[in-house]
Amino acid sequence: MKLTRVSIKNYKSISPEGIEIRFRERFIGLVGKNNAGKSNVLDAISLLFGQKNPRYLQIESSAFNDPASPIDIEAEIEGVDFGAGKSIGLSDKQCHMLTKVDKKGEKVPEHITLRLRVPPGAIGGEEANESEPSATEEPAQEEEKQTFALYLANNHEVKRNEDIRKALVKYLLVPPLRAHSDILSPSAWTPYGRMLRDILAESAEAEDLRQFIRDATNKLRNVLKTEAETLSQSAQTTAYVDSVDFQLTREGDPAELLRNLSLSIQYGGRSEDISDIGTGTQSAVIIGILELCLRHRHRRGIRLFAVEEPELFLHPHAQRHVAMLLRRIADEEGSQVILTTHSPSVLSDLDIIDVVRVDRDTSKATRCSRVPDDFTGLSQAERLLGPEACEMLFADRVVLVEGPSEVELLPRLAPHVKTKAGDRNCDFDRLNVSIFSVGGKTHFSPYVELLESLNIEWRIICDSDALSGSALDGFKKRFGINTSEDIEKQREALLRHGIAVLGHGEIEDYYPHEALAVIAGCLVTDVSKEIERHRIILDMPTSLEIVRAVVMDNTEAITYTKKERLPKLAEVWHSQAVEKIRSGGSVERRRKTSDAVAEWLKRPKPAIAQEVARWIVAHWEVPERLARLIQWAAT
């Protein structure tokens, strides 16, 4: 069995049109900015699968997004075969309803649907007003009641469904504020307390504990015997009392001992109560304990573990470890995990198809977006999220670039560039803009497709040679741009559609020579010469070219030379062939500016971009061409 779909309408920030979340696998991550509505999604799921019967929940009026529309929450569980139906308490007849025959004549498991409907002003709930109107009152129009229904194969309703609901899904939500005093309370009202009581009741040691309580109580009474007799005499003079005595527990029940149970953490030879250790350790322990609670005594149905921001108070390595543990839980048969997070470490190595982006639409309502299951634009390896790709999921706009230089340069300069209105700066972080290197001009299309499926705005900045090649042909076709038109007209048309093709070379061609001179420790007048000098590449000729030259120039010598002399001569012929090929210029190539600058300065391109940005900020205003590019990309 697997929870495959959740639909939510008109709940808190979710509009009456609603959202739908589908599980591709057993693990799903909800990501998005603060106040996007991620917690509201988990709260809605809690109404359906929580401890209380949904039919009797008290829903506050503030929970209705539209006060005139009902709240509708629905979930679908697939793969419920006859055996699974019996395990959750369905009758044989009901289990047969969960089996259909496909075109091949094979029996296929059907699905179970759970639906909660809360109309505005519903009568439903434990505190429903059932008083009759007086004779002078006009009969009130009957109001729609709050309902919870469970359907087999979407057609057959199960009337008495509360036990089935509880057996079908065991749900546990870990809140973001993980107060150990509340969550780890051994009270019978907490999942932790219930688990402890269940374990104690089933233990073979329970009777021994009862005897221990009786023995301890007797010893305690002996210690306090004089005080008990004095109290008894005093009480007998004023009330109908036979005696007063002391007892360790009320009824000798071992479960009463749990009231004083606490967790201790051992480290470095010391033992400390959990209340005295760091918040991060508390958080990790709480998540682990609640996962144990979810497993306990639930050997049927689905275990649904919901965790809000598991990364809180944990360092990056611990965040990744907790995320790995949650994925392991989801990999177990019968378990599913849904979490919310702001952490790239938690999302690291997660397939982007298993991520749901939660944001607000133009009407400020929560919406959910995800990459289609059949998305093939990126390979399986490329879909695995890294830190840079994770950041895109939280952005309002993503600027796609070819390489790492733009990623380092533009965000550092942006805070020092005014918006077109001139009132504020173009700080990418303030504007919630991310910049991401796709690794080459031919890789823009799949990332644009990905961003559009997630409802994220995009811009592209690419080198000038992208316009003359075929790298942008897909965009030209999409936007109806004639490839036979003048290059400048094509550039202008692409810019209108969010693609900026640099007018000259690549971003390194926009570096001030003064900055490069400082980095290199040379004169400004020498910069152009050094770049040109390092453009030239003399490649080693290929083996085939060398063999051909050696054979053609030394055919007779190869034929008549003795074998023992050939190795020595071969070295000479090899050197002569290489020199001849190079002198002919057949293997000379020219580096692009970025490669020439990196070769000259003997530094990685990102490091050079960082140093250039620092120099510009310290000495100049941002050059006009770069400032215009940043304004366009950010605003």
Query: pTM of this prediction?
Result: 0.77
Cα dihedral: 589, 595, 596, 600 (round 10): -130
The Cα 338–Cα 5 span in angstroms is 12
Distances (CA, A) of 605 to 401, 412, 523, 593, 597: 14, 15, 21, 11, 8
The Cα 36–Cα 44 span in angstroms is 15
| Pick from 305, 313, 306: nearest CA to 281 | 313
Which DSSP symbol is given to 15?
-
Which amino acid would we find at residue 96? H
Query: What is the pLDDT at residue 127?
Result: 42
Q: What is the pLDDT of residues 112-140, one digit of tens each?
A: 999 999 999 764 554 444 344 454 555 55
Domain ranges, ordered by start, for the chain? 185-262, 395-525+601-635, 536-590
| Pick from 598, 624, 602: nearest CA to 404 | 598
DSSP-based three-state secondary structure for 361: coil
Question: What are the residues facing 264 on neighbouring strands?
Answer: 273
Q: Which residues of the chain have pLDDT under 70?
A: 122-143, 178-180, 183, 188-189, 294, 296-299, 380-381, 538-540, 582, 584-589
Alpha helices in 1-102 (DSSP H): 38-49, 82-87, 92-97
| Pick from 517, 487, 519: nearest CA to 504 | 487
> How many Cα atoms sit within 13 Å of 327 on the Cβ side?
14
Distances (CA, A) of 151 to 208, 426, 532: 47, 54, 75
Distances (CA, A) of 180 to 14, 340, 341, 390, 504: 31, 20, 21, 30, 60
The secondary structure of 30-48, three-state, reads EECCCCCCHHHHHHHHHHH
Q: Tell me phi and psi for residue 7, to 5 degrees.
A: -120, 135
Neighbours of 632 (CB within 10 A): 16
The Cα 553–Cα 305 span in angstroms is 76
Structure tokens given for 298: 């639930």
Query: What is the pLDDT at residue 287?
Result: 76
Q: Quick one: angle between helices 593-601 and 524-533, nearest 10?
A: 110
Strand ranges for 14-154 from DSSP E: 19-22, 27-31, 71-80, 99-101, 107-118, 147-152
The greatest distance separating any two alpha carbons of the chain, rounded to the nearest whole angstrom, comes to 136
Q: Are 80 and 114 in contact (CB under 8 A)?
A: no
Q: What is the pLDDT of residues 197-216, one digit of tens each?
A: 778 877 888 888 888 888 88
Q: Are 49 and 400 in contact (CB under 8 A)?
A: no
H or E segment to which residue 303 belongs: strand 302-308
Query: What is the pLDDT at residue 128?
Result: 41
Cα dihedral: 513, 514, 515, 517 (round 10): 80
DSSP string, 307-339: EE-TTTT--HHHHHHHHHHHHHHHHSTTEEEEE
Distances (CA, A) of 129 to 122, 132, 137, 199, 361: 10, 9, 16, 40, 38
The Cα 583–Cα 576 span in angstroms is 11
Letter string b/e over residues 388-403, b meaning 16 or more CB atoms within 10 A of that residue's CB: ebbbbbbbebbbbbbb
The Cα 618–Cα 607 span in angstroms is 17
Q: Are 281 and 184 in contact (CB under 8 A)?
A: no
